[in-house]
Amino acid sequence: MIKSVKIQNIQSHEGTELSFHPGVNIILGETDGGKTAIIRALQWAVRGKPVRGNTIQSTWGGESRVCVELEDKKVSRSKSTSDSYTIYERGLDKSQQRRVNTFKAFGSTIPEEVERAFNIGDINFQNQLDSPFLLSKTPGEVAQHFNKIAGLNQIGISLKQIKSWLLAIERNLKFKREERKRLKSQLTKFNHLDKFEVEVEVLEQLEVQRNNLVKSNTQLQSLIFDIELVNTDIKDTSKVLKIKEPVENLLQWYKELENAKLERNRLSQAINSLNNTVHLLGVEKAKHTALLEKYRKVFPNVCPLCGSKVNANQIKI
């Protein structure tokens, strides 16, 4: 992935630096603001285009340079009196870069080391006026594209190469057998040299040991490659494991927050219910007081039942 790009003296850019984030990045600007020049600078550095004269260089002159920062290295292409690539790899201290090698640039031909470092092809670039991706292609071209992505073309190439190797081995084996037969016929001329038979047997044993060592070395190289793949998988998995605990904590906090929200809603409903009850109680007390006053006013001073005097203010209902 491209992390950043520094552009110096490329068309309208005297000194521009862009930092990219993982995912989709959008470059916005006014017309003739230099957006297309950024894509041309990337194509010039990554794919060697354009190459006609000095079309990529600024009109005011000076050295033109495009420096592309990748995950683990930087690749720089510069052009003044000469045109060259330089690869910088990250050292043990990630803040430092060390120059690995410098390569001469010839037109649109990209050095193999530079092409391998970028791992970006023409299909990764889509210009403004290009037709929609794959929609204008024939079914055969689309199938060829997806076969290339899936690696099926590499399988065909590998099988073809293996077949070629087998034919070469069979031709070589046939030649060796004929050579062996010829040498055996010549060996009859030296029957008097029986004393060398032991030495020949020793040499044959050494040849067998050598072949075994070559075979073991091939197997060892294959194991080393498999170990490197496993280490890469372990490194990728460790990145995921690093964020596992923070994600679990975040989910736990979110669960606690939801529970707190539910408890807050329940308490809010209880408070509202209590406030309504207090209000109703006040209304009923007011009614009670009014009725008591009304009763005291209409109640006689002498009880109509027993004839005794009654103090209306002492009456409680």
| pLDDT at residue 130 tops 70 | no
User: Nearest to residue 6, comparing CAs of 53, 42, 31, 59?
Assistant: 42
What is the percentage of the chain residues whose pLDDT exceeds 70?
Answer: 80
CB 43 within 8 A of CB 110: no
Residues 42-101: tens digit of each pLDDT: 888 888 876 555 677 888 888 899 999 988 888 999 888 888 888 888 765 555 666 678
Token pair of 79 as six digits: 């052009």
Confidence of residue 119 (pLDDT cuts 50, 70, 90): confident
- Of 50, 105, 42, 48, nearest to 70 by C-alpha is 42
| Residue 116: closest CA among 149, 72, 50, 83 | 72
Please report which confidence band the pLDDT of residue 281 belongs to, taking 50, 70 and 90 as the band edges: very high
Q: How far, in Å, CA of 287 to CA of 290, rounded?
A: 5
pLDDT band at 2 (very low <50, low <70, confident <90, very high): confident
Tell me the whole-structure pTM to 2 decimals: 0.43
The CA R_g of the chain, rounded to the nearest whole Å, is 45
Q: Which residues, in sequence order, are CB contacts of 13 under 8 Å at separation 6+?
A: 7, 34, 37, 38, 41, 58
Q: Rounded mean pLDDT of the chain?
A: 80
Q: Centre a 10 Å sphere on the Cβ of residue 215 and count the other Cβ atoms it contains.
A: 10
Report the C-alpha gap between 113 and 119 in whole angstroms. 10
Give the relative orientation of helices 152-187 and 139-150 as an angle to the nearest 10 degrees. Answer: 60
Assess whether pLDDT exceeds 80 at residue 102: yes
Window from 108-112, 213-217, 285-289 with minimum mean pLDDT: 108-112
Which of the given ranges, 125-129, 158-162, 234-238, 257-261, has the highest pLDDT on average? 257-261
Say if residues 14 and 64 touch (Cβ distance below 8 Å): no
Nearest to 75 by CA among 54, 44, 53: 44
In this structure, is the dihedral angle defined by the CA atoms of residues 50, 25, 124 and 138, taken in order, positive or negative?
negative
| Whole-angstrom distance, CA of residue 207 vs CA of residue 180 | 15
What is the longest distance spanned by two Cα atoms in the chain? 169
For 219-248, how does the pLDDT look when each residue is reduced to its tens digit (9 = 90+)?
A: 998 888 988 888 888 887 777 777 778 878
264 CA to centre of own chain:
42
CA–CA dist 95, 316 (Å, integer): 91
Alpha helices in the chain (DSSP H): 35-46, 112-118, 139-150, 152-187, 197-242, 244-298
4-130, which class in CATH? alpha beta
Query: How confident is the model over 44-53, as pLDDT tens digits?
Result: 888 887 655 5
Average pLDDT (150-162) is 70
In this predicted structure, what is the pLDDT of residue 4?
Answer: 92
Contact 49, 56 (CB under 8 A): no
If we measure between CA atoms, which residue out of 112, 100, 39 comes closest to residue 73? 100
What is the structure's pLDDT at 302? 66
Distance (Å, rounded) from C-alpha 53 to C-alpha 107? 10
Looking at residue 66, its pLDDT comes to 92
